Structure 1
Amino acid sequence: MDNELKSNNDIKTKIVKLSAILNLPKGTEAFISDIHGNDDKYLNIIRSGAGNVSRKVEEVFNGRLTKLNQRKLVCLIYYPEEVLAQIHEQITDPDEAKQWSMDTINSVLEVVRYVSSKYPRHIIDKALDTDLYEITKKLVFGDLMAPDKQQYYREMIKTVVNLKMNDEFIISICHAIQKLAIERIHIIGDVYDRGRHPEAIIKHLSESWQNFDFEWGNHDILWMGSLAGSKLCMLNLIRICARYHNLKLLENVYGIDLTSIIKFATHAYVPMSNFEPRVNFAGMTDDEKNVDNCVQQAAAIMQFKLEGQAIKRRPEFDMNDRLLLDKVNLDKKSITIGEKTYQIKHGCFQTVNPASPYQITHSEQTVIIDLINQFTHSTQLNEHMWFMLDHGSMYLKHNGNLLFHGCIPVDKQGNFLPLHVDGQSYAGRSLCDYSEYILKDGLRHPTTGDCYNSDFIWYLWEGKNSPLFGKDKMTTFERYFIDESELQTEHLNPFFELCNEEWFADKLMKEFNLNSRGHIINGHTPEFTDSPVKANKKIVVVNGLSEINSRDRNIGGYALLFDSYGMRLETLRAFRSRQESIEEMSDVVLDKQIVEHSAERRTVKDTDYGQNIKKQIERLAEELK
């Protein structure tokens, strides 16, 4: 009987705790996209809570700290290690240094208590440093204003400083603030390509964050497809790495020995101006530039050859307009497309056989086999791509909102464009579901042969009806070789124009079985020319870490925050460097725009998490009967 009573009390206790959580304010979600390997930019956004930290500091200290001192505190929270190092250089008097530490500990404790006030205890516990947990929990959860305990807490802080634990403690609290300023991070595509350290972003999420998801981008697909054995994805990936002086990422992080392609490329090709790397890092040597240039040429020509083979294998892809190598004239200095002949600019077709232009040479085949075997067996690449697979999807329905990276292909009237495969048609949501199925199947059953999965994953990268691409074609060949803007133009899918229409937003939400009161949150945006808030505030574009607005070099993209009061779009300050951000104490946000404001504060019970809690409560209540 006692055991039964104890069991019932345990169940009731769980119900009480879960019911209380339902009435806490909804946590803050942050939406960012298009990181492209820029780890410092990414961390600048995350450390700042996409601007949420500075807002919280202002709310806590408005009228108590000057704006300058608020900025100093915010900068400390963003970059505690670097700022503390500066403080130690500036404050040399021991007593003054101790006082500064005690004042700072009190300030960061106020902030962490404020940002943690809407979370249940178990979430706060995960954000706190385990090594300092016993001290931290007393100072975070204790009532520092209680008259009987004020001296107790003051002595605790004083002892932390006397034992020279102050730096470690301040850093741990600042990191906790960063984690608690955002409950969930949504990364709406393109972690990879261009930037130098995508692996640092994966590492940060796997080691330092509790709650996040990926909506895969077209550039992520190249890396996932390479692991699945797609030689076309791999060659595109290598070409882009060479274009952005990023081959060391493959060698140093993913253990890919590039000797075979470097030897082949530097033997078969000579540097050309149209293959110059797109970046010019300080310290780049001429030899490095030449290697990038030649590898880019070799990868591009092999890519064009294999693309031709895939297009002929898969007529359902409807990509015959991308068959261009067979249009190159015998002089290899001109190309005839339709009835018009164009001059080729700096051609590099020495390995192309005019009689069989899509045939891979023996030397190229040796390089391709060597590389694809390394990609599919790279331990680190396996780990990182499966991490993205396990935590990601083509799209996500979360808290009434629809998240995806690219587009839902449509015609000019907004009808979903079908892709016909093996007698089946896929359009709208079913196209996204089918794409996700093939991608997962490809990673679960990798093969280096010319299989359908590999071809389809490559199609997701540049096919005109791909939900991740959003254009009629990818004019890589034309941009390299033909100096004619009419041929280099890539026309956007009508999706991007229709995103300005409210009826179209409603149609998309209906297609994904969501209420029209929700929002569509989109990344990618291949050509950004107008407002990121569209369709009467139902569609929001968060191309967040690319500096996409060439009209204003101070703007570095956009991020979206969704908290218990509603949604606001943050216009991000262009990020130059971590050092500059610290020196200028510049905030991450330039401007804010309210997308939605709720008169009544949302609580956990209004979220997907709340629905799961309600189901738990129902199951527990059944056990009491």
Structure 2
Amino acid sequence: MKEYDKYLKLLKEKYPTKQSVYRELINLNAIMNLPKGTEHFMSDLHGEYDAFYHIINNCSGVIREKVAMLYGDELTVYEQQELCTLIYYPREKLSILMDENKVNDEWYRNVLNQLIQIAKLLSSKYTRSKVRKAMPVDFAYIIDELIHAQKDEDDNRSVYHRQIMETILSLHNGDEFLVALTDLIKRLAVDHLHILGDIYDRGPHADKILDLLMEHHSVDIQWGNHDILWMGAFCGNPVCMALVVRNNIKYKTMSILENGYGISLRFLLQFAVNTYSDKNVDDAVYKAISVILFKLEGQLIKRHPEYRMEGRLLLDKMNLDKGTVRIGDKEYFLNTTEFPTIDMNNPYELTMEEMFLMGRFRADFINSMALERHINFLYEKGSIYKIHNGNLLFHGCVPLDEQGVFDGIVVDCKSYSGREYLDYCESMVRQARTRDSDAVDFMWFLWSNILSPVTGRCIKTFERTFLDKDRNADYKNAIKEDKNPYYDLYENERICKMILREFNLYNESAHIINGHTPVRTKEGQHPVRANGKLIVIDGGFCEGYHAATGIAGYTLIYNSHGMKIKEHHPFMSINMAINSNRDIESESQVVYVEKKRVFVKDTDNGKQITEEINDLMNLLKLYNT
């Protein structure tokens, strides 16, 4: 009771009178009866900044839908496209239109009025207070007046609003006002953004994506295996560092390391050229970091027998005289026998030069201010899983055994599975930020293990690097990565409902939403599975996946009426979007229709507001007594 009284006293400082409590109760009850905000879900961005930036700007096609709704009968298709491009890239498009002599006072009047009407339409599901807070500060009062103007207002009011517009034009402030309106439109179109992992690797500009996300008004992230890899590297895991370097050499995206984060590859290049005979320098560098990687992996596996990954110790299984390696009970031909830094009597020991290299990388990774800023953001906004508005979000899987029973690991004689296992994994990720040695090592386990909730695969890096694909008849089977049974069982509605119940989600409207495994639409795969209980939203956003998936990514949209999924076609370029009004083509498909419209009172935010209302009612009792 003392704590409760203390809390009420603090609440009283914020609401010092009965009338202030009444006012807030009226406001909160009104908010509860607004439609829920629109949520967008995306996954597996993999450094594809240009396409992601465009989708953020066009709000996954929502802007184009609203323009067509308002002006489909008034504007030609070309005029609608040009208006959309102006909203997406206002400054760039304005510059082009000025060069074409299309911009004058009449143009400003027409376009600004159109933008005001779009903003007015999008603001209808929010409180006036929330819309005002979303407005650019310099124009908040003006925009607030204009988007709440009524068609049937009296002459004095109408003259007042026209004069606002004329004053903006007479002061040559139309450009800044236009940009402010387009920013508000994009802000209102998407209330909350969920990123279901894998921002990093493959594409060239994950750093720019993170900069963009850090500016977003409302976002959360469920860590993917590639994100965990970079987080592990920053936290000091040498295996993760070697993997990050190796991945960026493999995908030819070294600029993110050197230019984005100040991680130098100069010493690795010198070492590789001096050590290996490969004529192609890139091949030598790739080989050099791969050998270092497998040595470091071996050391970590030996430190942690509880990982049960002894089968990944392969350097000591090589026979360099025969040019083979024994994996399990089979022998495979190697594509090279040149391993000058490997001592077969102690194959997992680094040479002095290799230790020097890893020392340089460690200093660069843990001292990179740009990387620290991004990793801190991933920790602040991220988690292994998230329960939000009745849906369960995660990147990879909830590990299962072949019978569909929750699987996991045993640590210090304690078994972890199901939700408890995912909570344990998250606690280890957060502990790694303190540079705790066991937690830092665990980051690599999360990257590579079939029981990892962010991966759920047995990663076969050695086989893909050093097996000879031409001389091994069983090559395809040798590099095939075993996956957790979850990825077969998640087609089963009963299994999905069991997982949802594990996270206390019993509502029929609850869904599992995850990414990680590209949906091969060209082969007939569909993102919606298990009779609608599970939605896989990895549509191959990364350009390298387009050929396999047949599309270029998904956006799942959840508004007050239900869910629909947007299937995106490949994005040409930002320049084409600006100069030729080329938008990303997308097709929509309804996934789920709510039986009744969802209001704020039905959401997680509604639960918080209910608590606030209860607190205020208690405060009111205090005033009355």
Q: Tell me if TM exceeds 0.5.
A: yes
Q: What is the match of residue 485 of structure 1?
A: 476
Distance 1:65 1:430, change over 3 A: same
Confirm whether residue 510 of structure 1 aligns to residue 501 of structure 2: yes
Q: What is the match of residue 328 of structure 1?
A: 318
Distance 1:552 1:475, change over 3 A: closer
CA contact (8 A) 1:521 1:542 kept: yes
CA contact (8 A) 1:332 1:349 kept: no
1:214, 1:222 → 2: CA distance? 15
Q: What is the match of residue 317 of structure 1?
A: 307
Confirm whether residue 539 of structure 1 aligns to residue 534 of structure 2: yes
Name the SS of the counterpart of 1:570 in structure 2: strand
Q: What is the match of residue 283 of structure 1?
A: none
1:305, 1:31 → 2: CA distance? 39
Q: What is the match of residue 574 of structure 2?
A: 578
Listed one character per residue, the Cα deviations across residues 268-307 of structure 1 (whole Å, up to 9, x for unaligned) are 234467xxxxxxxxxxxxxxxx3x4433222211110011
- Greater Cα offset, 133-142 or 188-197: 133-142
CA contact (8 A) 1:506 1:516 kept: no
Q: What is the match of residue 490 of structure 2?
A: 499
| 1:424-443 equivalent positions in 2, closer than 5 A | 424-443=414-433
Distance 1:254 1:133, change over 3 A: same
Give the TM-score, by structure 1 length.
Answer: 0.91
Q: What is the match of residue 177 of structure 1?
A: 185
Q: CA deviation at 1:310?
A: 1.3
Q: CA deviation at 1:446?
A: 1.4
- Greater Cα offset, 476-485 or 53-62: 53-62
CA contact (8 A) 2:195 2:219 kept: yes
Listed one character per residue, the Cα deviations across residues 108-142 of structure 1 (whole Å, up to 9, x for unaligned) are 11101111111123432232222222332222233
CA contact (8 A) 2:400 2:407 kept: yes
Distance 1:306 1:394, change over 3 A: same
Name the SS of the counterpart of 1:556 in structure 2: coil
Confirm whether residue 452 of structure 1 aligns to residue 448 of structure 2: no
CA contact (8 A) 1:238 1:296 kept: no
| 1:160-239 equivalent positions in 2, closer than 5 A | 160-207=168-215, 209-239=216-246
2:528, 2:596 → 1: CA distance? 23
Distance 1:4 1:164, change over 3 A: closer
Q: 1:16 aligns with which of 23, 26, 30?
A: 26
Q: 1:398 aligns with which of 385, 388, 391?
A: 388
Q: What is the match of residue 17 of structure 2?
A: 7
Q: What is the match of residue 520 of structure 1?
A: 512
Q: What is the match of residue 592 of structure 1?
A: 588
Supply the AA of the counterpart residue of 1:269.
Y
1:108, 1:326 → 2: CA distance? 67
Name the SS of the counterpart of 1:507 in structure 2: helix
Distance 1:611 1:366, change over 3 A: same
2:518, 2:569 → 1: CA distance? 20
Q: What is the match of residue 373 of structure 1?
A: 363
Name the SS of the counterpart of 2:558 in structure 1: strand
Supply the AA of the counterpart residue of 1:215.
Q
- Greater Cα offset, 307-316 or 396-405: 307-316
Q: CA deviation at 1:403?
A: 0.1
Q: CA deviation at 1:338?
A: 4.0
Give the TM-score, by structure 2 length.
Answer: 0.91
CA contact (8 A) 2:311 2:328 kept: no
Name the SS of the counterpart of 1:521 in structure 2: strand
* Count of residue correspondences: 596
1:5, 1:540 → 2: CA distance? 44
Q: 1:143 aligns with which of 150, 173, 188?
A: 150
Q: CA deviation at 1:348?
A: 4.6
Distance 1:101 1:490, change over 3 A: same
2:53, 2:151 → 1: CA distance? 32
Q: CA deviation at 1:36?
A: 1.2
Residue identity over aligned pairs, in percent, reads 37
CA contact (8 A) 1:411 1:494 kept: yes
- Greater Cα offset, 37-46 or 399-408: 37-46
Confirm whether residue 105 of structure 1 aligns to residue 112 of structure 2: yes
Supply the AA of the counterpart residue of 1:488.
I
Q: What is the match of residue 141 of structure 2?
A: 134
2:480, 2:279 → 1: CA distance? 23
Structure 1 spans left out of the alignment, 5+ residues = 274-289
2:476, 2:593 → 1: CA distance? 44
Q: What is the match of residue 156 of structure 1?
A: 164
- Greater Cα offset, 252-261 or 43-52: 252-261
Distance 1:5 1:365, change over 3 A: closer
Q: What is the match of residue 68 of structure 1?
A: 78
Name the SS of the counterpart of 2:63 in structure 1: helix
Confirm whether residue 423 of structure 1 aligns to residue 433 of structure 2: no
Name the SS of the counterpart of 1:536 in structure 2: helix
- Greater Cα offset, 177-186 or 580-589: 580-589
Supply the AA of the counterpart residue of 1:481.
F
CA contact (8 A) 1:347 1:481 kept: no
1:526, 1:370 → 2: CA distance? 36
Q: What is the match of residue 265 of structure 1?
A: 272
Listed one character per residue, the Cα deviations across residues 47-68 of structure 1 (whole Å, up to 9, x for unaligned) are 1111211122222223232333
Listed one character per residue, the Cα deviations across residues 353-376 of structure 1 (whole Å, up to 9, x for unaligned) are 111111111110111122113312
Listed one character per residue, the Cα deviations across residues 72-125 of structure 1 (whole Å, up to 9, x for unaligned) are 222221122222122112226xxx622112111111111011111111234322
Q: What is the match of residue 6 of structure 2?
A: none
Distance 1:135 1:516, change over 3 A: closer
- Greater Cα offset, 312-321 or 292-301: 292-301
Q: CA deviation at 1:199?
A: 2.1
Q: What is the match of residue 476 of structure 1?
A: 461
Q: CA deviation at 1:203?
A: 1.9
